[in-house]
Amino acid sequence: MGILDKAKEIGGKVSESVSSFSSNEVIANTIMKAVEKQEKVNAILQEKGSNYRVSDIELGMGIPPTVTFGVRRTEEKNGNPHGDSPQDSSDLVEGTS
């Protein structure tokens, strides 16, 4: 098999991968799995007394497909009045003027 034949074969496999990942059902399943993971990790973090939570999920439709989780601080150990919700950075800026 020549190098051009090999490149054509690899190109076909890449094209198949992209087509199958762009399926609506595959994307929906990926989202559901990522959200399940987020909920499980957040429960563990809360049990351990961590003031961080997984707050964002980003899907990348590339080769290979990626799932990226964003982490935010939710409360200070000394008792943030904002409770268990992520603190928006605009709240911090307003108090400095």
pLDDT tens digit sequence for 13-27: 666 655 555 688 888
Three-class HEC string of 10-42: HHHHHHHHHHHHCCHHHHHHHHHHHHHHHHHHH
Domain count, the chain: 1
Domain encompassing residue 37:
3-94
pLDDT tens digit sequence for 63-79: 777 889 999 998 765 55
Confidence of residue 91 (pLDDT cuts 50, 70, 90): very low
16 token code pair: 């198949």
pTM recorded for the entire structure: 0.55
Q: CA 8, 17, 20, 39: dihedral to nearest 10 degrees?
A: 180
